[in-house]
Amino acid sequence: MALNKIDRSYGWKATKDWSSYLTLKSQSSESFNDYQTKLQKIMLELNTKGYNAALYWENPDPHDYISLVPTSGITGEGIPDLLSVIVKYSLTLENIAKRIRVK
């Protein structure tokens, strides 16, 4: 699941088309903490609806947890991560691989 608008966090310093994992690591503590606060709210909402969720690099089990990929549609941050997660899961998770059709 893509979590868009990563660039809306307080004091965000964008790095065009970069990995969201690396971008988050390079942010100031204020920006990172603001993002963490927003992320926790989203994860709580998903949990109240019966879904377990984790950031894709912290996901303990993709069968039981939705992988969240932070992205920005404006700066392109996280798009490489999103594509790699889609490819990885399409090759490794059987229920997804069965649904993919190439025409």
Query: Closest Cα to residue 66, out of 80, 37, 45?
Result: 45
CATH code assigned at 24: 3.40.50.300
Asked whether residue 103 is domain-assigned, the answer is no
Domain count, the chain: 1
pLDDT digits (tens, 9 = 90+) for 46-77: 999 999 999 999 999 988 999 999 999 999 99
Q: State the residue range of the domain holding 46.
A: 2-97
Asked whether residue 85 is domain-assigned, the answer is yes
Please tell me the pTM assigned to this model: 0.85
Q: Which two tokens stand for residue 14?
A: 């964008």
